[in-house]
Amino acid sequence: MRAMTRCGLVAIVGAPNAGKSTLVNQLAGTKVTIVSPKPQTTRFRIRAVVMHQGAQIILVDTPGIFAPRRRLDRAMVAAAWGGAQDADLTLLVVDARAGLTDAVRKIAEALAKGRGPVWLALNKIDLVPPPRLLPLTAELNAILPFAETFMISAEKGEGLDRLQDKLAEAMPQGPYLFPEDELTDLPNRMLAAEIVREQILRQTHQEVPHHASVETEQWTENEDGSVRVDCTIYVSRATQKAILIGDKGSRIRAIGQSARIELTKLLERPVHLFLNVKEREGWDEERARIRAIGLEDAG
């Protein structure tokens, strides 16, 4: 008889820049979500599919939970809490170096009011003196008694074997929701836009990264097996557009080249990437733009 399969959703939640996306990519064994040293990088839920010990673990990477101001911010926070509510298990990732911040405290207090098991992962332990870890764990457990606690470094892969084993054991019995060889349910058009946005985050500074939105306008399959991808980058102000384009187009060419190399690797096929930059004041308050990047308008 065939062994009973196990499958479940695990929501990865936490404050901005806690290392959630790095953790998802490490567990998945490949890049399924963009990573940046800047906070609020992830804008919508991305499911990474991990097969481990016969279990299918569907990791839901969520935006960092923060105090929203813009319509875009409210949509991002709603996506994060939606990911937690839909999941069989919630994993709170805390930057051990930052400790128990007000943001982390508020998230833990909100999770304490919910249902379902919540686990704790103290991340970046390689950057913290070990004597600080147990008191931090005790502080967090005083707010919310966690069913499991893990000490990890997502960047270096430390402690992830035990976490993965425990996640596989915790998945409820049931059929797989995705084919076993599928890594993510993120459409290629959205993946392309996210990879371009990652390069914007990496190659620009100050006000540009979080005032830029990328949309894949056209995806053309070529007869030779390659693909042409046309993306539009929306920014709020003319100064941001000038920074993105750079002197004689140098910055936008560098962004396009790095994104094309990354996409070629991920898609395992030649990619011809074309970028266009448009100034659109107030795009982060537009319902259509918010829906276009995969978020639901939270009002």
**Residues forming the annotated binding site?**
14-21, 61-65, 123-126
Q: How many CB atoms lie within 10 A of CB 58?
A: 21
Instruction: Please give the C-alpha separations between residue 234 and each of 200, 212, 240, in angstroms, as whole numbers.
Output: 12, 5, 10
Please give the annotated binding residues for GTP, written as ranges.
Answer: 14-21, 61-65, 123-126
Task: For Cα atoms 68, 73, 75, give the angle at the middle one, nearest 5 degrees.
Answer: 115
Backbone angles phi, psi at 215, to 5 degrees: -130, 135
Q: How many alpha carbons fall within 13 Å on the CB side of residue 240?
A: 21
Please tell me the chain's helix, strand, coil percentages from 3-state DSSP, rounded to the nearest 5.
Answer: 40, 25, 35
Q: Would you say 58 and 178 are in contact if contact means Cβ atoms under 8 Å apart? A: yes
CB 99 within 8 A of CB 129: no
